[in-house]
Every structure is written in structure tokens, then in C-alpha cells.
Amino acid sequence: MTPAGPGRQMYALVERLYPLCRSITGDGVRATLDIVGEYLPLQIHEVPTGTQVLDWTVPQEWNIRDAYIADSTGRRVVDFAASSLHVLGYSVPVSATMPLAELRPHLYTLPDQPDLVPYRTSYYKPDWGFCLAQNTLDALPDGDYEVRIDSTLADGHLTYAEHVIPGQVPDEVIISCHVCHPSLANDNLAGIAVATYLARALAEQTPYYTYRFIYAPGTIGAITWLARNAERIEQVAHGLVLACAGDTGRLTYKQSRRGDAEIDQVMRHVLAASERPHEITEFTPYGYDERQYCSPGFNLGVGSLSRTPYAGYPEYHTSADNLDFVSPEAMADTLAACREAFTLLDRNRSYLNLSPYGEPQLGRRGLYDALGGRSDTKQAQMAMLWVLSLSDGDHSLLDVAERAGLPFDTVAAAADALRGAGLIKA
């Protein structure tokens, strides 16, 4: 991994987004999308509280201005201003003075990681609380504490955004990332940054597929998008969820529920061919929003790409998932893997041999002459023969490459030459 320019730029975007308090609704999501909107034109969607979305209902909107626990001297021993992780997400407003014994049931810590602050939420059950380091809690003396959470929970909207890159065909590839977590750099500010720079890179090309980037709160956001797009879901040909894209662990690809989707084959091939350290895992109905896109009613071919997967590192959902935990090099490597995958996906076609009875004479069509002087002449010749042999409408170029044990680029170049000579058609 090298700290290429995009890596540094993605890290700078993560730095900008890190201080914002995000949740599944609210001004923190809007502020996040406003910043992303400086990098990409976004279509913002506001879905009102109470809207039925599949089996769910859009919840009330949550916003917070301040929160703290202060001791008898007025010193803030826990302060939302220091970190948005300090407040239980979706806490209802509180203004009271109470003894430590009464406060304790509302305090969340990590006894096994006593220096770290946990990330906790209570989205769908009215509650309030604070998150703090176990060491901080252990140092609090008995006595009365002022408790203040200046928040609102009221009818409003759920906010999500889309960015679309038109392709040569209307069939879509969706790239989805969640925008609901507060100050957690890897989960998922790195995913947001990689998605944003992937979109910028694709916009510089003329892709074959139409690419739709979805920035939405986890679970409820993806469910809302699916509910609002159910009538056009058949246009989604492929998809990828991006999360935990910035730590130094090896790349991990979680396959779609189907397991045989084209995106699964592409990601397996790209990661293996690149010789990157990586892991391929089977689908499970737990994780990020791939489980929504892959739910049996939709059954989309959507996988998930991360580095160390969710809950797979001790910093996960803690204050240690900070700006020091992610790196420009790791984000640049994740971006490069995505670009390689979608370049291959865009070129992967199935063809029909237009001269299927016996082997066509390649020499009189100048196809062998066109290979003269190439260092891989024999490999290129074999690629032509393999493409002709498997151009039956049932095999893609990636199928050919894997069956023949040849590089995909060599096979794709052979297909281009054969198509130019009128021997195959898409």
C-alpha cells in the first residue's frame, strides 16, 4: 500500500467528518451530506416521520445540542462537547440532579477496555444515558451530579442521498455506505470517503453500467431506499456495500446471499489476481446493509467489501476507532481494489461465436499478424481460441479467463480483436 494522492485526500475528508454527531436521522446526517456534496453533486431525499417503509416506520428525528454530567463543583466529568460518543444515541432530553447510585444504571462502559468510551444507541426504545471510560467512572466519588441532555425527539425526516453516474446501459450497479455513526473513523467515515472518491474516479470515464451511490443511515436507510425504489429494483444488476474501509487489516469480501452473483465472481478474481492479502467469507444475515439488499424478496447480487470486518477488531464501536486508527494507505488500497473490480465488471460480457462450425481461419483475417512482436503472442493466440470455444452465450469473459487460466485483460483483448473481425457478437 502506498500513500497515493487519493489516500491523503480521503483521509482529509474523514478528518472533516469526524467531529460531527451523526445518527439515523437529524442535522448531523445533513451536515455530513453537505460536506460530501462539496465533492459530488447529491440528490437529497427527506422522508417524513411515520412513513411506512416495508415492515418498518420512519422514526422521529433526533437532534442534540449539548450534554454533560457535572460534579458538585460544576466540572464536567463527562462532556458531549469532547466527543459525540459520550451520549447514548437517541437519548431523550434530561435535566436533573441525582446521586451517583441513581445515575449508574444510565452509564455505559467497557470494563474489559477501561480506557475506552463505547458507542451505544437506543433508537427504537425511549431512553437516555451516557457512555464513558470505566476508569472515569471508577474515579467518580459518591455524591450528587447535575445531568443534562439538551436534545429533541420530534416529528421530522429521515435523510439520505444519491449520486448517479450515467452509463451506456440503464442496468445499475449500486454502491452503498452508511452515514449514521458518530465519531467513528473506520466505521464508517472511511467507507464514505472511499465511496466518494470511487464516484469521482468513475465520473472521469464512460462506464458501461449506470452507477448509483447511496449514502443512507444503516438498516432503516437502506430499507427506506428499497421501499421507495421497489418498482425499479430489476434495474439493479450488481451492488457493493462499503464499510470499515480504512484500517490496516487485509481486505475482506463478504459474498452476496446468492453466492454466485457476478459481483462475487469478480471480487474473488480481482483479489486473488492482485495477490493482496485477503479473505472471502460466506454471506450471513448479520452485518451491514448487504442483508437488506440481499433479503429474499429482493435477492440482489450485492456483496460487502471491508478491511477488518465489523466487530472483528478491538477498536470496533469504541473511541479507539479514531483518526489514528485509519490510514491514507489503507483507504487508497481499498479504493484501488474497487476500481479494479468495477473496471473488470464493466468489461465482462458474454459473446456468441458467429462462425461456430469448426475453427475459423484467423490468419486470413489478420488476427495472427496483429499479434506479431508481442511478448505474450502464444498466450494471446490461446486466448482467442478459448474465447471462440466458449462464446456460446452462456460463458462470460471472466468465465473464459478462469477456465483457461489466463489473465482477464488478455482474454478481453482477444474478444475485442475477434469482435472487430466479425467473428463474435455480444
Predicted confidence (pLDDT) per residue in 311-370, tens digit:
999 999 999 999 999 999 999 999 999 999 999 999 999 999 999 999 999 888 888 765
What size, in residues, is the chain? 426
In angstroms, the CA 189 to CA 287 distance is: 16
User: Residue 4: its pLDDT value, please?
Assistant: 59
410 conformational bin, left if phi > 0, alpha if psi -120 to 50, beta if neither: alpha
Phi and psi torsions of 386, nearest 5°: -65, -40
What are the two backbone dihedrals, phi and then psi, of residue 206, each rounded to the nearest 5 degrees? -120, 85
pLDDT score at 1: 46
71 annotated as ligand-binding: no
Domain boundaries, the chain: 5-58+157-346, 61-154, 350-425
Q: Which helix or strand (DSSP H or E) is residue 242 part of?
A: strand 236-242
Is residue 321 a known part of a binding site?
Answer: no
Q: Which residue has the cell 448531523?
A: 28
- Decide: pTM greater than 0.75: yes
What cell does 2 get?
A: 502506498
The secondary structure of 23-73 as a DSSP string is: -SSSHHHHHHHHHHTTTS--EEEEEETT-EETTEE---EEEEEEEEEE-TT
Instruction: Find residue 354's DSSP bridge partners.
Output: none
Quick one: DSSP state of residue 312? Answer: -
> What single-letter DSSP state applies at residue 280?
E
> Residue 368: its pLDDT value, please?
73
118 by DSSP, 3-state: which? strand
Residue with cell 486466448: 383
**Binding site annotation covers 317?**
yes
Which grid coordinates belong to 228?
Answer: 421507495
Q: What CATH code is assigned to 5-58+157-346?
A: 3.40.630.10
CATH annotation of 61-154: 3.50.30.90
In angstroms, the CA 123 to CA 152 distance is 13
Strands 350-353 and 392-396: antiparallel
Its sign, for the CA torsion 320, 324, 325, 326, is positive
Q: Is 30 exposed, middle or buried, given 0-12, 13-18 or 19+ CB atoms closer than 10 A? A: buried
Give the Cα separation of 222 and 237 in Å (integer). 17
CATH number of 350-425: 1.10.10.10
C-alpha dist (Å) from residue 176 to 155, 243, 323, 395, 415: 26, 9, 22, 28, 32
Cα 46–196–277 angle (5° rounding)? 130
Q: Are 70 and 146 in contact (CB under 8 A)?
A: yes
Residue type, 387: V
Which residues have a Cβ under 8 Å from the Cβ of 1 and sit 6 or more positions away?
A: 327, 329, 330, 332, 333
Tell me which residue of 343, 273, 335 sits closest to 307, measured CA to CA. 335
401 phi, psi to nearest 5 deg: -60, -40
**Three-class SS of residue 293?**
helix
- Mean pLDDT, the chain cut into blocks of 10 residues (426 residues total): 76 98 98 98 98 98 98 97 98 98 98 98 97 98 98 98 97 98 97 98 95 98 98 96 98 97 98 96 96 98 97 97 98 98 97 95 80 69 95 96 96 94 95
* 200 in Cβ contact with 207 (< 8 Å): no
